Chain A
Amino acid sequence: MLHRVLAALIGAALATPALAADVHGGGTDAMFGGGPVSTLGGVLVLLSLLFATVGCGLGFFAGYRKDPQLYRWAQSAAYGFSASMIGANLLMVYALINHDFSVRYVAEVGSRSTPLYFTIVSLWASLNGSILFWGGILGIYTAGVTWHLGNKHREYAPYVLHVQLGIAIFFAFLVASIANPFAPVFPVPPDGPGPNPLLQNHWLMAVHPPMLYLGYVGMSVPFSMICASLLAGRLEAGWMAPVRRWMLIPWSFLSVGIVLGGWWSYAVLGWGGAWAWDPVENASFHPWLTGTAFVHSAMVLERRGRLRDWTLLLGMSTFLLTLVGTFMTRSGVFNSVHSFTQSDIGPVFLVFIGITLTYSLLLLTFRAHKLDEAAALTDARLGAKAKKSTSVFSRETAILIQNGLFGAFTFTVLIGTLWPLIVEAVEGRRISVGEPYFDKWALPIGLGIVFMMGVGPMLPWGRQNADKALKRALPAAAFGILVAGGFAAAGFQGPISVLTLFVTGFAFWANANEILDPARKRMSTHSEGLGTALRKVLLRGRRRFGGHVAHYGVLMAVFALALTKGYRVEQDFPVEKGQTVQFQGFDIRFDGAEMVQEPHRSALVSTFEVSKDGSLIGTKVPRMNFYKTQREPIYTPDVHSRPWGDLYFSIISVPGDGSSAVVRLIWQPFQVWLWLSAPMVFLGTLICLWPERRRASASSAASAPAAAGQVAPGSAK
């Protein structure tokens, strides 16, 4: 019986790429003709598709029949997929470096004059390469989760491989068929056009896309783990902990990727802003919102057994939203720097989104009751002890409110993002939704979230009486007033920034207190010094401490947004060579502009000397880069950056021979804190994920069964 299933699966795997190659128009020749790289690339991609298909089937039967031998085979298939997909990526990099223009993708984005650095980065500079890169990252994650699960969690692990490799089938299929980057080119062109100028203009392009991919693709792992839970019909707290960890990893990459995207926009596009509620920006924001909500509600599920179905739904939505985001950025439905070309990948993606959505809903509908039964059994075994009472003043209530706010945030942004698509489909009109809509919703919801970021850590799990809660809130509120008052005295007096700074200060204190308070207690009870006490507190509660650090990262971003948004000063100056203009207390002298030739571009470089109070503090060289493939120059601003503000130089035009120019000067207070929020969030996540020592994990295992009994049916509260 098993042999027949295997044979059928292998047959299907072999049939699919052949079909796909037909779609491509060239029969199997399109896959295997051409140079050695095309051939080897085609083989690797087909192998990855084969491994994914076989492993997906094996994983399911290994789980269903609880067969260890089948599970070992499924593991091998997973590693096989990862190896062949990562191999295909390395091969493409090799082809790019060697300017092998017989490979279609290299012919599309390669160029002999592009610097090596940007040549490697070209792997994700265009549609087909980016899908291949996507597959490669999926390979890394698949290998990672396969290795991590190993022989643990045997009830779930086979199903995880089943779902994970099911997703892999789709991406391997895409790479093998409509997005095949290895297709041969004949006759072989002598040179290529090089990557999109906007992408080779700044080093951030080497970092922002991989971070986002690591974020997007990694969301497949918690999705697979949640599906596995439903397929297995069980969910223990001991399983929720790894699911949450696997969500935290891509979540932190996504956070960093979003901030870096904003930084790139700031550093390259010349308008001095980081975020414009552009559909492709929102596309990355949706899964971040639901992922953040999940990271919190998963704690409630793990510790208190509440919010189960809601948490599962959040985790599944997060992956679905990354697919929607990929669809939005890659299909060309929205026009931006992210959509490379009108391609036929959109409909295929829509079908995959449809399948994933249906699969998720079916699992939730028909398998969630199995979790109830499992929970009831544990309940009976543990008896009344498992029933923990909860008051309104508890951390789980705070997280429930926070989840509601995140849900509302996702919902409003999603509607605003998809609305133009709906209008165009129904009425054929082209519209877009203006920034005021998003700002209007983001402000109250965002303030609510920051406020809850302070309230949550203040409240313990379970019970708290109102008096005690109030006692802890008062100093935090006082600190908030101090911060808001201090900045108001320094001139930042707008009501929105005052309110934002107040809640930021409030949350800052609340989170700091959670670290300092236990340390103070240790100092008196164990008579330790502050340093020792702090270190011990951190080591004992690494997960909690990491959470506070991540909160600080978010608070830094909110702080920066509160002050950059309303207090930016912008002015255009027409200047002559040698002329000095005054702006925000700076004296800025224009020293002329000249044309500079570089291998892959020419640049019009303007030079400005910046001085303050008579002393020279810097030379800034905003430029306009001209690429041979593009008529329009790319503006490349320059920034004089200090913790209290950025002085931003953007050249608007250089009308004549370089002896005059129009420069836009922007003063952006506290901008740099927005960029610093990314490493802070990343550090916080790293602290959370750092493996704990033996003793700590033993104690958490002891508390696990108690929580496991609590997977209560009333899930949404």
Chain B
Amino acid sequence: MTDAMKKRLLAVGAIVVAAGALGWVSMSDLGDNLVYYWSPTELMENQAKAKGAIVRLGGMVVEGTFEWDAEAQTATFDITDGGKTIHVNSKGNPPQMFREGIGVVVEGELDGNQVFQTEKIMVKHSNEYEAPEGEMRVEDMYKTLANGEES
């Protein structure tokens, strides 16, 4: 083995070790910062995992459950995927297109009282025109919902 080859091998080895170490550290870091996309049913199934994690919860706003507290600037409503229903407590004004009966994604976390706390409501936002409501299956609804983030 020539000198040059030894040096190169050493350099490659150093890069591999450094990359490995960095990869390991950042991987473990990733696990703490995951945002989960869940439906109410999935959220209830994964409550242990959901503790302290940020969740994007997608579903339909149940008719007749929306209440607006102008004093405290908070809104409360229920979200369902047909199976489980979760009560949501939202700080701030909901966006213009927010209605009962439409699909939304809320980002936040589940508190100890099984209430989902959020400050961010995203109304389904599609690039193509679609008939607003209808007989869409909830599973499909959720799929398109989860795609409707901004930016």
Q: Does B41 contact A (CB under 8 A)?
A: no
B-contacting residues, A614-642, CB 8 Å: 624, 629-633
Rounded to whole Å, the gap between the CB of A660 and the closest CB of chain B is 12
A437 with B37: CB separation less than 8 A: no
Q: Does B54 contact A (CB under 8 A)?
A: yes
B93 with A652: CB separation less than 8 A: yes
A431 with B37: CB separation less than 8 A: yes
Q: Does B92 contact A (CB under 8 A)?
A: yes
Provide the A654-676 mask, 1 if CB < 8 A to any CB of B, else 0: 10000000100000000000000
Rounded to whole Å, the gap between the CB of B50 and the closest CB of chain A is 12
Q: How far is it, in angstroms, between the C-alpha of A430 and the C-alpha of B149 when the chains are bound?
A: 14
A629 with B128: CB separation less than 8 A: yes
Q: How far is it, in angstroms, between the C-alpha of A165 and the C-alpha of B40 when the chains are bound?
A: 52
Provide the B82-105 mask, 1 if CB < 8 A to any CB of A, else 0: 000000000011111110000000
Q: How far is it, in angstroms, between the C-alpha of A538 and the C-alpha of B35 when the chains are bound?
A: 50
Q: Does A337 contact B (CB under 8 A)?
A: yes
Give the residue name and chain of the A residue nearest to B146 (CB): A430
Q: Does B136 contact A (CB under 8 A)?
A: no
Q: Does A372 contact B (CB under 8 A)?
A: yes
Rounded to whole Å, the gap between the CB of A581 and the closest CB of chain B is 14
Q: Does B147 contact A (CB under 8 A)?
A: yes
Q: How far is it, in angstroms, between the C-alpha of A310 and the C-alpha of B130 when the chains are bound?
A: 51
A572 with B73: CB separation less than 8 A: yes
B-contacting residues, A534-548, CB 8 Å: none
B129 with A432: CB separation less than 8 A: no
Give the residue name and chain of the A residue nearest to B98 (CB): A653
Give the residue name and chain of the A residue nearest to B125 (CB): A632
Q: Does A117 contact B (CB under 8 A)?
A: no
Q: How far is it, in angstroms, between the C-alpha of A271 and the C-alpha of B122 when the chains are bound?
A: 12
Q: Does A8 contact B (CB under 8 A)?
A: no
Interfacial chain A residues near B132, Cβ < 8 Å = 631
Q: Does A715 contact B (CB under 8 A)?
A: yes
Interfacial chain A residues near B135, Cβ < 8 Å = none
Task: From A411, A434, A662, give the contact of B54 (CB < 8 A).
Answer: A434
Interfacial chain B residues near A408, Cβ < 8 Å = 18, 22
Rounded to whole Å, the gap between the CB of A433 and the closest CB of chain B is 6
Q: How far is it, in angstroms, between the C-alpha of A415 and the C-alpha of B25 when the chains are bound?
A: 11
Q: Does B1 contact A (CB under 8 A)?
A: no
Q: How many CB-defined contacts (below 8 Å) exist between A and B?
A: 121
B35 with A574: CB separation less than 8 A: no
Interface size class of B (residues with CB under 8 A): 35 or more
Give the residue name and chain of the A residue nearest to B102 (CB): A631
Rounded to whole Å, the gap between the CB of A205 and the closest CB of chain B is 14
Give the residue name and chain of the B residue nearest to A408 (CB): B22
Q: Does A203 contact B (CB under 8 A)?
A: no
B4 with A653: CB separation less than 8 A: no
Q: Does A155 contact B (CB under 8 A)?
A: no
Interface size class of A (residues with CB under 8 A): 35 or more
Q: How far is it, in angstroms, between the C-alpha of A340 and the C-alpha of B147 when the chains are bound?
A: 12
A433 with B97: CB separation less than 8 A: no
A-contacting residues, B34-68, CB 8 Å: 34-37, 54, 56
Q: How far is it, in angstroms, between the C-alpha of A265 and the C-alpha of B149 when the chains are bound?
A: 13
Rounded to whole Å, the gap between the CB of B68 and the closest CB of chain A is 10
Could you say which of B5, B70, B127 has the most chain A C-beta atoms within 10 Å of its C-beta?
Answer: B127
Task: From A372, A436, A662, give the contact of B33 (CB < 8 A).
Answer: A436
B151 with A196: CB separation less than 8 A: no
B19 with A411: CB separation less than 8 A: yes
Provide the A395-424 mask, 1 if CB < 8 A to any CB of B, else 0: 000000000100010011001100100000
Q: Does A441 contact B (CB under 8 A)?
A: yes
Task: From A340, A434, A574, A717, give the contact of B34 (CB < 8 A).
Answer: A434
Interfacial chain B residues near A430, Cβ < 8 Å = 36-37, 146
Q: How far is it, in angstroms, between the C-alpha of A193 and the C-alpha of B127 when the chains are bound?
A: 12
Provide the B1-28 mask, 1 if CB < 8 A to any CB of A, else 0: 0001101100110110011001100110
Interfacial chain A residues near B147, Cβ < 8 Å = 335
Q: Does B140 contact A (CB under 8 A)?
A: no
Provide the A256-294 mask, 1 if CB < 8 A to any CB of B, else 0: 000000000100010100001010110000000000000
Task: From A404, A415, A629, give the contact of B26 (CB < 8 A).
Answer: A415
> With A432-B34, A629-B129 given, is the CB distance from A715 to B8 under 8 Å?
yes
Could you say which of B23, B93, B151 has the most chain A C-beta atoms within 10 Å of its C-beta?
Answer: B151
B7 with A713: CB separation less than 8 A: yes
A653 with B95: CB separation less than 8 A: yes
A269 with B27: CB separation less than 8 A: no
Interfacial chain B residues near A435, Cβ < 8 Å = 33
Q: How far is it, in angstroms, between the C-alpha of A652 and the C-alpha of B7 when the chains are bound?
A: 61
Interfacial chain B residues near A631, Cβ < 8 Å = 97, 126, 129-130, 132
Rounded to whole Å, the gap between the CB of B31 and the closest CB of chain A is 9
Rounded to whole Å, the gap between the CB of B36 and the closest CB of chain A is 5
Provide the A185-223 mask, 1 if CB < 8 A to any CB of B, else 0: 000000001001110000000000000000000000000
Give the residue name and chain of the B residue nearest to A412 (CB): B26
B34 with A715: CB separation less than 8 A: no
Rounded to whole Å, the gap between the CB of A328 and the closest CB of chain B is 14
Interfacial chain A residues near B126, Cβ < 8 Å = 630-632
B150 with A269: CB separation less than 8 A: yes
A653 with B96: CB separation less than 8 A: yes
Give the residue name and chain of the B residue nearest to A631 (CB): B132
Q: Does A3 contact B (CB under 8 A)?
A: no
> With A653-B93, A713-B4 given, is the CB distance from A411 to B35 under 8 Å?
no
A432 with B15: CB separation less than 8 A: no
> With A276-B151, A432-B37, A434-B34 given, is the CB distance from A654 to B15 under 8 Å?
no
Q: How far is it, in angstroms, between the C-alpha of A631 and the C-alpha of B126 when the chains are bound?
A: 8
A630 with B127: CB separation less than 8 A: yes
Task: From A197, A440, A654, give the contact of B29 (CB < 8 A).
Answer: A440
Interfacial chain B residues near A701, Cβ < 8 Å = none
Rounded to whole Å, the gap between the CB of B17 and the closest CB of chain A is 12
Provide the A422-457 mask, 1 if CB < 8 A to any CB of B, else 0: 000000011111111100110000000000000000
B35 with A434: CB separation less than 8 A: yes
Q: Does B79 contact A (CB under 8 A)?
A: no
Q: Does B72 contact A (CB under 8 A)?
A: no
Given A415-B30, A652-B95, A713-B4, 20 extra CB contacts under 8 A: A309-B8, A372-B4, A408-B22, A416-B26, A431-B36, A433-B33, A441-B26, A572-B73, A629-B128, A631-B126, A631-B129, A632-B97, A632-B124, A632-B126, A651-B96, A653-B93, A713-B7, A714-B7, A715-B8, A716-B15
Q: Can you report 10 residue pairs joining A to B where beta carbons are below 8 Å apart? A: A196-B127, A372-B4, A415-B27, A429-B36, A437-B26, A437-B29, A440-B29, A652-B95, A652-B96, A716-B11
